[in-house]
Structure 1
Amino acid sequence: MRSAAGVLRDVFAGPYARTFARAQQDEDDLFMVVVMAEALGVPNPASYYTVELLPVVYDQVHDWHRRMGLDRSPLDHFSCC
């Protein structure tokens, strides 16, 4: 049996699920740009902290650059296609 919280979430958030998913995708894309800014040639004052996250986001580079409309990876040292 479903919990009351699950039912209420489906009733109130269900119609907006696509909007929430799109907002989450936009946040993820912005995070990728911030983390990979130095690798893309954009000066990043926080690169000291974000360089540690590069191995984490490398798995998502292919999906990200396809969503951004790039046929190939913008990173010179990383080819995923």
Structure 2
Amino acid sequence: MDDTKNDQPLWQRFLAGLNEFYHAPYRQTMARAARDEEDLFMLMMFAESLGIDNPASFYTLELQPLFLENFHEWHTRMGMEKCPFDHVGCC
């Protein structure tokens, strides 16, 4: 059998197509669940800054600088048109 068209053998291409067939209907659902989980995590991380008591703020305070890049995207997705913080200039 000549596989000059692809570097993968026929069996691996068949398995990849089968895998795509079974996972395609759930891709959007899994992406939505991952986004919801990220939204909850961002809320937990910035809750103390938003005025919501957070018992884990001692641990999440260290992570805020790492996720500050994603903060603008998150607060616009949550319906806040402008940044709720005075000390962060994302908008």
The residue identity in structure 2 corresponding to 1:56 is: L
Which residues of structure 1 form unaligned runs of 5+?
none
Q: CA RMSD in A?
A: 1.5
| Partner of residue 52, structure 1 | 62
Secondary structure of residue in 2 paired with 1:39: coil
Distance 1:76 1:9 in 2: 48
The residue identity in structure 2 corresponding to 1:26 is: D
Distance 1:42 1:34 in 2: 9
Larger radius of gyration: 2
- Cα displacement (A) at 1:70: 1.1
1:18 to 2:28 alignment: yes
Question: Alpha-carbon deviations, 1:31-51, whole Å to 9, x = none?
Answer: 000001111111111111110
Higher helix share: 1
Secondary structure of residue in 1 paired with 2:48: helix
Residues 1:11 and 1:79: Cα distance change in structure 2 (over 3 Å): same
1:38 to 2:48 alignment: yes
Count of residue pairs the alignment pairs up: 80
TM-score by length of 1: 0.87
Question: Alpha-carbon deviations, 1:13-72, whole Å to 9, x = none?
Answer: 111111111111110000000001111111111111110100111000110011111111
Which residues of structure 2 form unaligned runs of 5+?
1-7
**Identical positions, percent:** 46
- Cα displacement (A) at 1:9: 3.2
